[in-house]
Amino acid sequence: AFGPSAQAMGLQEGYSQEQWGPWKSHTLLLHQSISELGWQEQAQTLLEVFKEHARENDLYLSREEFLGLMQKYPCCKASHHAVFFDLFDRNQDGKLSENDFMGGMLAVSPFTPHKLETPSGQLRMQFIFLYYDANRNGRLEVDEVARMIEHIQQLRGQPHSDPLVDATALVSLYSGPFGFAAFHDAAQKRMLNGTSPLLRTQQDMIEAIRQRQQGGRAEVPPALHARQDDAPGAQ
């Protein structure tokens, strides 16, 4: 049996339910998350900013337009702007729809709860999976899991054990590829602990927008620039 269409979610077609697991439509999760978090006003604010910058085609943000938006409302390190565009562009067509933009910004906000059983937590987990699945083959290789574990250790200020050893041990617990089903299961059972700080902007985009609109200059807090690793994450 095969899961829902992969193409619209930024992955290739043909993944089995065993590998796909609890993956859901990003658009569905976005709408459920807006309801769950009472995020209607924030969504409207993002929509207005989207339309302000979508000049070439009012239905989409190009890479250049997105980078301009992020520069005007800086909520993270400048070197992460292109990283977020590539991540939000799940079908890799070089442009972001309103849902791509809003779903991505909701998922990476430092204010979004990280509860796996909720729509917003599920949305975050799917984006985290996509971020570490660097080659977009629908599964995490051992070195990709190791990179995630290394980032978790850095964000939590833990003594650094060997991430590759830990990743190899974790992946070996699952038969077949370490797809989203295995990733979600490992996090749910706390075999992979500490995913909450991963993939977050330093400041909430909504805050950066409001700060700018009130006449102040939105600035990324200096703590982000002091970080040693270059992965988006919370302090």
Q: Is the pLDDT of residue 234 over 60?
A: no
Q: pLDDT tens digits for 155-180?
A: 988 777 899 999 999 999 999 899 99
Q: Look at the alpha carbons of 113, 197, 186, 148 in this order and tell me if their dihedral is positive or negative.
A: positive
Q: List, as one string, the DSSP characters of 169-207.
A: HHHHTSSS---HHHHHHHHHTTSS---TTBS--SS-HHH
pLDDT number for residue 223? 38
Mean pLDDT value of segment 182-188 = 96
Q: pLDDT tens digits for 3-48?
A: 344 554 544 455 567 777 899 999 999 999 999 999 999 999 999 9
Q: Is the pLDDT of residue 80 over 70?
A: yes
φ and ψ at residue 153, rounded to 5 degrees: -60, -45
Return the biggest CA–CA distance within the chain. 55
77, 225 in Cβ contact below 8 A? yes
Q: How far apart are CA 127 and CA 104, in angstroms?
A: 8
Collapsing DSSP to helix, strand or coil, 123 comes out as helix
Where does the pLDDT of residue 217 fall: very low under 50, low under 70, confident under 90, or very high at 90 and above? low
